[in-house]
Amino acid sequence: MLALEFPPIENLVEWPAYFGDGEFFAFNKIALISVLAVVIPTVLFLLAKKEMVPRGLQNICESAIEFVENQVIMSAIGPEGLKYLPMLLSMFLFVFFGNIFEVIPTFQMPANARMANPLVLALITWATFIYVGFKHHGIGYLKEVMVPPGVPKALLPVVIPIEFLSTFLLRPFGLAVRLFANLLAGHILLVTFGVLCIAVWRLDAMAILVPFSFATLVALTGFEVMVSFIQAFVFALLTAVYINSSIHTH
Amino acid sequence: MSLQSVAIDVLAQADPEVLDPKQGQNEAAASGAGLAYGLAAIGPALGIGYIVGQAIQAMARQPESASQVQTTMFLGIAFTEALALIGFVIAILLKFV
Amino acid sequence: MSFIVLAAEASAETKNPVLPVVSEMFWGAVTFTALYLLVKFVLLPPFKRTMSDRAATIAADKDAAELARQQVASADSDVVDQLAGTRAEAAAIIEQAREEAEVERTRLVGRAEREVQAMRDLADTELSSARDKAMQGMKPQVSELAAGAASRVLNRQVSLSEAQPVIDRHLANQN
């Protein structure tokens, strides 16, 4: 009875290359969004005037900087974490602009709904917190991580592998999967309701239901804007928390 | 009710006239995936509800520490939510591998 | 690294949407590195400079305001001190004036009293002299009368010269 099928999921998230198809530098929509996620903040930050009394665009840029400073760094690390501001700010901006293309017409695709960008960012976080750990504790960092204080000696053979796995494997994995799955789920949700709108529209008798499904679609779009922001915040915050756990072990 | 049935029709994968030899397997994979995600969502749902409820209580008791509580709440949600998201990923893996 | 390549190969074979694609990872790494370098060396420093300048300006303005407030407070206390001094001076002047007035008053009162006293003394002397004079005028007649009365009582002639000392003594006693 229906003429419309739900599209296979590959069609929702896989994009043909604009050039370099099959090569390692194949440039598709995801890569284009990644490039835009660099260009847009750069242009915004360059266009903003640097005046004593901030107005307009300068306010937006400064509130982004202060948000990362106060809500991410100060609450997770403290004043000594301020030297990681460029890292965390660029992570926040890159993730946020990669996400927000989910609701921008003609793009309608979050770059982070593909595993690539979250995995790259999670690997960078992973490398960063391990580097910070070795810088602050030397080789003793491994012992600090894997041997929690107050654990009986008999339990150490169990605790050490668990701590090793949870710190060095589950952290980056969880970080990447959290961002990726959130955005993929949001994207599928929006696509589902978009397809539902079209399907209901085509059924003459059911066309009366279009306003409901469309209203849900609009509400979900607003929800996804919020998710885009929160996931960017959470990604930067977790990176800060991991860096903090490397500075202050236990 | 009718909206639901339409939605199910829309989301149904196979056309009944096309008899695919892999169809049975696909259907089993699809229901397995749905079950996996549904089960994976139960625990984190309760957990997130508990976290947010406690955070609201804390904020109502000490409004001056609301921003600190909020940051911690987001951290807790992020860690709890990861379980549901892993379930979601497993569901997709089940469906496509 | 081999893990990533393996994942990419798997993705190419099965088209699994969960696994990462190597070209997207390449572009993600390139773009993120570009953004990090831009933020660190080009975008952030001017903002940090402006923001710290602003914080410094605000702190300086705050200090200046605090200084001005202290000056106002000290000027206020100066005014209060001056006011208190003036008030004390005025009180001293008033006290002095009061004392002078008191002295003057006692002086005037004393003088008036003395004048009154003098007048009273004068009146007293005038009164007594007038009485003496009247007494002196009455004396011969009284003596004569007394002598006559005595003659009648004694049945013998009492001369005036004989009675005079008795009468004088009696009169002196009367007074």
Q: What is the DSSP-derived secondary structure letter of residue A6?
A: P
How far is Cα A242 from Cα C167, in angstroms, rounded to an integer? 146
CB contact under 8 A, A14 and C49: no
Q: What is the DSSP-derived secondary structure letter of residue A73?
A: I
CB-based contact (8 Å) between B18 and chain C?
no
CB contact under 8 A, C28 and A52: no
The percentage of chain A sitting over the pLDDT mark of 90, rounded to a whole number, equals 59
Unique residue bearing structure tokens 């001094």 = C85
Instruction: Specify which residues A19 forms β-bridges with.
Output: A27
Q: Are the beta carbons of C24 and A16 closer than 8 angstroms? A: no
Highest mean pLDDT among A32-46, A50-64, B81-95: A32-46
Annotate C86-139 with DSSP letters as a single string: HHHHHHHHHHHHHHHHHHHHHHHHHHHHHHHHHHHHHHHHHHHHHHHHHHHHHH
B 45-84 residues inside an 8 A Cβ radius of A? 67-68, 71, 74-75, 77-79, 81-82
Instruction: Specify which residues A27 forms β-bridges with.
Output: A19
User: Could you give the number of structural domains in chain C?
Assistant: 1
Tokens of C51: 């923001």
Residue in C closest to B95 by C-alpha? C16
| pLDDT reading at A122 higher than 70 | yes
Cβ neighbours for C51, distance < 8 A, ≥ 6 positions apart: A62, A65
CB-based contact (8 Å) between C156 and chain B?
no
Query: Domains in chain B and their CATH numbers?
Result: 30-97 (1.20.20.10)
Cβ neighbours for B46, distance < 8 A, ≥ 6 positions apart: none
Which pLDDT belongs to residue C40?
94
pLDDT digits (tens, 9 = 90+) for B12-40: 444 544 455 556 667 777 788 888 888 98
Q: Are the beta carbons of A235 and A171 closer than 8 angstroms? A: no
pLDDT digits (tens, 9 = 90+) for C40-85: 999 999 999 999 999 999 999 999 999 999 999 999 999 999 999 9
Task: Say which of A38, A85, A87 has its CB closest to residue C34.
Answer: A38
DSSP run (H or E) holding B63: none
Collect the ranges in chain B with pLDDT lower than 70. Answer: 1-25, 97
CB-based contact (8 Å) between C70 and chain B?
no
DSSP run (H or E) holding A208: none
DSSP run (H or E) holding A151: none
For range A174-178, the mean pLDDT: 92
How far is Cα A163 from Cα A160, in angstroms, rounded to an integer? 5
pLDDT tier at C145 (50, 70, 90 boundaries)? confident
Question: Of A114, A90, A86, A89, which is closest to residue A102 (Cα–Cα)?
Answer: A114
